[in-house]
Amino acid sequence: MAYTTPQALRVYKDITSSSDDALLNDLIAAAQKMIDRYCRRTFEASADTTHYFDFSAEYVDGDTLWLDDDLCSITTVTNGDSVVVAAGERTTIPRNSTPYYGIRLLSDSGVTWTYDDEWMDAISVAGKWAWSTTAPDDIAQACTRLAAFLYKQRDAQLFDVTAIEAGTVLTPVGIPVDVRTALKPYVRP
């Protein structure tokens, strides 16, 4: 899924025709990739994927499995002994909001992280790996703004202007300052 739509971009840019929708879709995809790369995370997932974790100190710390990416929805957790860890035997870190960055086994469940033969890729977690199932509103707006900026670039070279004592220096723009400001709270450290 995309963080924004051609329709939202047409409204934002006051474009009345849908004749450029293929281009707008490409620009939205490019803007979304730029945002994900800048923030070092994905903000929206519509399908399940599986991540595998080594049974090592990097990921397993007592009763906690530390995740390698944002997770917004868990479908299945499979321990290293091929036994599914039921929802009632685990909780997420944090408990009440996404994205999750860890899975903790409940002390009264009697389950421990383990593996049989191979410790590498022993534990698997299937789910939606992203900030959320839909991008936050300010990320959608940032994507619309960035895609509009890219649309405008097709006709002219755009530059940020930096004033210095001797004059003005023109430097090419990557992500506009207002978009970077909107993204700043979401950048993964």
For the stretch 44-84, pLDDT in tens is 998 999 999 999 999 999 999 999 999 999 999 999 999 99
Domain residue limits at 56: 49-128
Q: Which residue has the higher pLDDT, 100 or 152?
A: 100
Based on the structure, what is the number of domains in the chain? 2
Band (189; pLDDT cuts 50, 70, 90): confident
Last residue of a domain, one of 83, 103, 128: 128
Measured in residues, the chain has a length of 189
Last residue of a domain, one of 78, 106, 128: 128
The whole-angstrom separation of Cα 158 and Cα 126 is 43
In a domain, 25, yes or no: yes
Indicate whether 21 pLDDT > 70.
yes
Nearest to 140 by CA among 31, 27, 11: 31
Closest-CA residue to 76 (of 64, 89, 95, 61)? 89
Which residues, 6+ apart, have CB-to-CB distance to 178 below 8 Å?
A: 145
Pair 60, 35 in one domain: no
Q: Are residues 80 and 121 in the same domain?
A: yes
Extract the tokens encoding 87. 């929802």
Cα 123 to chain centroid, rounded: 22
Contacts of 97 (CB under 8 A, 6+ apart): none
72, 94: one domain: yes
